[in-house]
Structure formats: structure tokens, C-alpha cells
Amino acid sequence: MLVVMEEHAAEEQIQAVIDKLVGLGFDVHRSTGALHTILGGVGDRDFEAAEFEVMPGVKEAHRIVSPYKLVHRGFRPEGSIVRVGEVAIGGEAVVVMAGPCSVETKDQIERIAALVAEAGAKVLRGGAFKPRSSPYSFQGLGEEGLRLMREAAGRNGLLVVSEVMDTTQIPLLAQYADILQVGARNMQNYALLRELGRLRKPVLLKRGPAATIEEWLLSAEYLAAGGNYDIIPCERGIRTFETYTRNTMDISAIPVVKKLSHLPVAADPSHGTGRRDKVPPMARAALAAGADALVIEVHHDPDNAWSDGAQTIGPEQFRELMGQLRMIAPAVGRSL
């Protein structure tokens, strides 16, 4: 249920609608846009839209037939901007998040932070808790990795995004990271999503390797239902019958999600392709398709990276890519 208030609706009129929604048993979420206040009533209640449309100050009322309500475009037609420090994700500027797959050593993360910052990235990515397919692979440095990454980011004016794998890690991640990443394998970990919904920190929500767009947006809805609207869904490739690439990068998901939802969208061409030489073309395509942020694995020595080396680009490739992205951005009404 969505109630769109008139442009200059008085606070008492808004409150009267909220009271009526609450009286009917809805959970009410309020969205204050530049022009209109929109009230989202979440719940399975029977009502007539006309009951709301006759109330003073109401412009229109609609039932939302989509299974996700709060992340639906109708709730914030003008789109959402996720603000973290000085960085805005979903505005005109496209935000690049770059760094290694995993934090390995102090020297490694310092070198990479300096090089990605110098090339124009705004956020340092890097895993300290790694969801590896094999239990024998490197699992990440844990808290030490977060500490090293925070220091390296701070020295280079970068924000930090890092993965949280389970609910017990949330306090630690919240302490060190500016954006918490939910990995593809955890997209449908509803206990984790519910806890992150209670947090007031942005979440980068990777698309599950076998998730439909609707399932992905329903996972985002879990976060929003808890009151955390700072969500950045991230396309990172899905599993198809194709084996040449590690995953199939679903570029079309970018404009689809931007149409269905008000959330800013990120794209990760590193996991999306699994191959270093395919990362720049897919990054360029994602920007052209409307991505608000790009997540790119970069290492000063990719051949010796402890994880995901094959899909990690080096300093020279990254600088060249940033130059190309700067040229493409204005063609699609963006900057970088």
C-alpha cells in the first residue's frame, strides 16, 4: 500500500494517514522526497484505495502488487542516494570500489590502497572473512585484516567495504567498515539480513549466483523492513550453462533493477567474469548500462594474489580502465 501525499501536505494530514494505516494493522514506512511524502504501509490487509484518497492532503493511493514494497521504485520514485561520509552512491558521480579479493599483509593492503586512491577509487574493498569454496583455501585474516584495511584506507582518504559472513561478525564489521558486504552465497541468509536491517550502516548486497532479480530484491526488502534503507544491490554474475567465464555477468539486471527499485545499483565485473582480461570491457558495459558503483578486484601483483588472482587486474590495467570510464561517464549523463 502506497499513499502519496500532496506537495504541501500538512504534518497533521500526514499523521492522520499514518494513524489510519496503523489502525488497519499496517507497518508504516515514511519516505520524504523532494516534493512528496510517500507512506508505505506493509502488511496483508484488506482496504479500498479510495478510503485514503478522500483524506485531506492525499494525492493518490495505490496497492503495490509487487512482493517487495519498500525497495519498490514507487516508494521513492526519484531514486535513493546512499550517503557514506563524503561519498554519495546513486547520485551523478559513479563510485568505484577497488581493492584486493582478500587482505593479505600490511604491505599489500597499503600498496593497493595507495594505487587505487591515486587512480580515483573512493572505497577500498577487501575481504577479511572469506567465503571460500574449499575449506582448505585461505579463509582471511579476520580482525587483523579489518584493522590493516582501515588504516590503509584512512591514510589514503578511502572508505572501507568488507564482507560480513554471519551475524556474530556484525559488531566487528560495523566497527571497522563503512559498508558491509553480504556475499553472493549469503544473499538468502535471512537471519543475517534481519540483523543487518537493524543496523544503520549501508549494505552492499551481492546477487546470489542462482537468484532471480525478484529474489534478490526480496532480500533487499528484508533489510528495508528492518528500517535500513541504505542498500546497494550488486550484480556479480550468475551461474548459467556457460563455462568459459566463471559466472555470466547479467548486465541487463542493472537497468531492470533500476526500473523496479529506487535503490542504487553496483556491478562487480571481477566475480562476474572470473577472467582478468574481461574485467575492463564488462566494467565499461556496466557503467554504460547505468551502474551507480563498480566493484573491482585490484592487486599490485595479481599473479601472486592469495585469492581470485585470475580475475584481479593490476595497477596499469586499473589506471587505464579508470581513464576509459572517465570518458564513458559523460556520454550517459554521469561523472567519475
- Sites of contact with Mn ion (CB under 5 A): 101, 308
Would you say 308 and 299 are in contact if contact means Cβ atoms under 8 Å apart? Answer: no
Can you tell me the distance from the alpha carbon of 73 to that of 56, in angstroms, rounded to the nearest whole number? 25
Minimum CB distance to ligand PEP, residue 48 (Å)? 44
Can you tell me the distance from the alpha carbon of 86 to that of 269, in angstroms, rounded to the nearest whole number? 25
Within a 10 A sphere around the Cβ of 113, how many other Cβ atoms?
A: 27
The reply on whether position 206 binds ligand PEP by CB under 6 A is yes
Residue from 271, 278, 299, 334 touching ligand PEP (CB under 6 A): that is 271
Taking the alpha carbons of 63, 216, 120, 228 in that order, is the dihedral positive or negative?
A: positive
Can you tell me the distance from the alpha carbon of 96 to that of 293, in angstroms, rounded to the nearest whole number? 6
Given ligand PEP, Mn ion, none, residue 73, with its beta carbon under 5 to 8 Å by kind, binds: none
Residue nearest to ligand PEP (CB): 183
Given Mn ion, ligand PEP, none, residue 72, with its beta carbon under 5 to 8 Å by kind, binds: none
Residue from 4, 101, 287, 298 touching ligand PEP (CB under 6 A): that is 101
Q: Per-residue DSSP letters for 41-57?
A: EES-----HHHHHTSTT
The reply on whether position 117 binds ligand PEP by CB under 6 A is no
- Considering the complex, state which of residue 137 and residue 335 has its C-beta at the smaller distance from ligand PEP: 137
The reply on whether position 210 binds ligand PEP by CB under 6 A is no
Minimum CB distance to ligand PEP, residue 244 (Å)? 18
- Considering the complex, state which of residue 41 and residue 183 has its C-beta at the smaller distance from ligand PEP: 183
Minimum CB distance to ligand PEP, residue 237 (Å)? 8
Given ligand PEP, Mn ion, none, residue 184, with its beta carbon under 5 to 8 Å by kind, binds: ligand PEP
x-or-dash string of contact with ligand PEP, 162-181, rule CB under 6 A: --------------------
Q: Who's near 280: CB < 8 A, 6+ residues apart?
A: 269, 313, 317, 320, 321, 324
The reply on whether position 183 binds ligand PEP by CB under 6 A is yes
Taking the alpha carbons of 204, 209, 212, 213 in that order, is the dihedral positive or negative?
A: positive
With DSSP H G I counted as helix, E B as strand and the rest as coil, what are the percentages for the chain, rounded to 5? 40, 20, 40
Within a 10 A sphere around the Cβ of 194, how many other Cβ atoms?
A: 14
Can you tell me the distance from the alpha carbon of 304 to that of 306, in angstroms, rounded to the nearest whole number? 6
The reply on whether position 131 binds ligand PEP by CB under 6 A is yes
Minimum CB distance to ligand PEP, residue 185 (Å)? 6
Backbone angles phi, psi at 63, to 5 degrees: -85, 140
x-or-dash string of contact with ligand PEP, 223-252, rule CB under 6 A: -------------x----------------
Q: Give the interface with ligand PEP as residue ranges (CB under 6 A).
A: 101, 127, 131, 183-185, 206, 236, 271
